[in-house]
Structure 1
């Protein structure tokens, strides 16, 4: 049983962070933010997949101004990601950003930081203090050295120093992230930071990599931290389409029995008995399940002989054969269909289950 650390609670739009609230799943768009149509299309796909907070890059004034339209078209809170430019931070808030991510120490000095904090107070939005291994102040690197698993002190000191800059302006609607591309540095850094503050923590492994390495590194680091009760919101960072980050995030939460969203899918690793393209079949089904809310277990198996028995606990499943496939429920054959019809028939059955779930809800 996981016991979460008690942290302060803040709100990003209507999403509570910390204070015992459900661990929130985030992502970030990779479109040109000022391209409102493309960015909204990506946000809508992320919403459907279960994303609860979305962050957008704000590299210029056109991006800051686009946030007005993005917020109107989004059902989830929009956070502005700012680097160096206090003017853009203020503009993003004026145009409806429901949170900003900054490094307070690199905004150009106390006066510019004060303007940003004043705007955050006026618009009643939180600030994420985000520190990465590559953005640590030179004096801290000189004192502590580059962050390592044995000594992540520079990351922690940088984050807490920047938090104090906000506190000096009477601002406390804060969450903190200290990201490294190294898995063990990330784990130890957040462990120590969690002992030093009760602000909510945003977890993440920065520059984690593509689908396989990024999923592994993020799942190891974040899985360990979440299992220790550390973390209030997180992003799985992948060099992939952002919706993939949401898929990994919910599977991570499900594996730790922290949160479950929609169906769980089980599938066999294939063997010499497989006579269908199970890889493609499983991918299509998995994408379909990402849009569903019913809490069912779904199996995609490659062998008609063993599939239903091996996946007996599944509410519904399919197994392929040589030119024929079967649908089964709780291990019992429910329907036989031609192989060419297996996927469309199965997707139709899933639609029926989802409709039943919505009627009951």
Structure 2
């Protein structure tokens, strides 16, 4: 895997984006932003799930005016999502930590310049959010629904901001299909130094969005492309962060949390491995220390696969094994296995965490 592509660093609140900073994850609240209590609740859920910042929809003046109070109680940096009405961005810029505009619908050059001026006054970044489904007419007519059209839209709008003296910029080039998304990011990356926000837009339900995002974002991340990301899912907010963190982990770009190794179901299994695996995942979801954890349904796989894991459990017929660093440390009846295993994993995570702390002293 190649090194990250060097980019300019910007800040969303206190969160660095680009310039070698850790790749951040984000989501978007689905409440009416003017409902401060509901929106705060969703932001708190995202913070607990591990998001770094959050985007909120600003559909009308009531939403824009609510941002001042929302900012006071928000547990994450806020990005205002603006479509069609640039004057809402001018109000939002007084309170939030960043602005996202869609160049396909935000309006004329003078409106973009006005937004840039408002953001400059508070040193706020602007995300140019190019969307494959809503390109400006001139690019849609000339290039059709293509990656090239998205890239040309991004370059045009970058120049508008730069001509206005503004360069606190990040870029996204989102399409609803994997190939066009990859092509757009790959084509634009050598041409500019601004950080990239990665995503596949309108990706679908959890199943479809996870696969699309893993293919597109994982491919880009493995090339060193990407500074922040969102996995767009028609579903619960926490799932977006959970899938994003998994993509970062399995692409090798972030070492946080548990990497699970589990055997496929087969005729040798002598326990309800599917249900037991779900329990293990749920009970260990809070652990952030990087660990390889193996969950096996029989001793045959366990003795081979588990020796490469930090810790493993092998369920058998009414009993099973717990294996740590390749050595069997417990052979227990089935009703004692899960609780003992969870305790052993937690102890190992605590041990690694303490070792990290001492290493930094």
Say whether the 8 Å CA contact 1:308–1:332 is kept in structure 2. no
Alignment of structure 1 residues 30-179 onto 2, 5 Å = 30-95=30-95, 97-104=96-103, 106-147=105-146, 152-179=147-174
d(CA) in 1 for partners of 2:296, 2:304: 10
Does 1:314 pair with 2:304? no
For residues 34-60 of structure 1, give each alpha carbon's deviation from its aligned partner in whole angstroms, at most 9, with x where no partner exists.
Answer: 343443333333333332222222223
After the TM superposition, which parts of structure 1 deviate over 6 Å for at least 4 consecutive aligned residues? none
Shift of the 265–48 alpha-carbon distance from structure 1 to 2, 3 Å rule, reads farther
d(CA) in 2 for partners of 1:348, 1:123: 49
Shift of the 4–351 alpha-carbon distance from structure 1 to 2, 3 Å rule, reads closer
Does 1:206 pair with 2:201? yes
Offset, 1:120:
0.8
Q: Which runs of 5+ in 1 are unaligned?
A: none
Offset, 1:337:
4.1
For residues 70-117 of structure 1, give each alpha carbon's deviation from its aligned partner in whole angstroms, at most 9, with x where no partner exists.
Answer: 44444432212111122322232223x111110245334344434322
Offset, 1:270:
1.8
d(CA) in 2 for partners of 1:38, 1:352: 37
Q: 2:307 aligns to what SS in structure 1?
A: coil
Shift of the 39–161 alpha-carbon distance from structure 1 to 2, 3 Å rule, reads same
Count of residues in correspondence between the two structures: 356
Shift of the 62–140 alpha-carbon distance from structure 1 to 2, 3 Å rule, reads same
d(CA) in 1 for partners of 2:315, 2:124: 52
Q: Which runs of 5+ in 2 are unaligned?
A: none
Say whether the 8 Å CA contact 1:36–1:66 is kept in structure 2. yes
d(CA) in 1 for partners of 2:332, 2:39: 41
What TM-score do you get using the length of structure 2 for normalisation?
A: 0.89
What TM-score do you get using the length of structure 1 for normalisation?
A: 0.89
Offset, 1:174:
0.5
Offset, 1:2:
0.8
Offset, 1:3:
2.6
Shift of the 212–18 alpha-carbon distance from structure 1 to 2, 3 Å rule, reads same
Residue of structure 1 equivalent to 2:224: 229
Does 1:342 pair with 2:337? yes
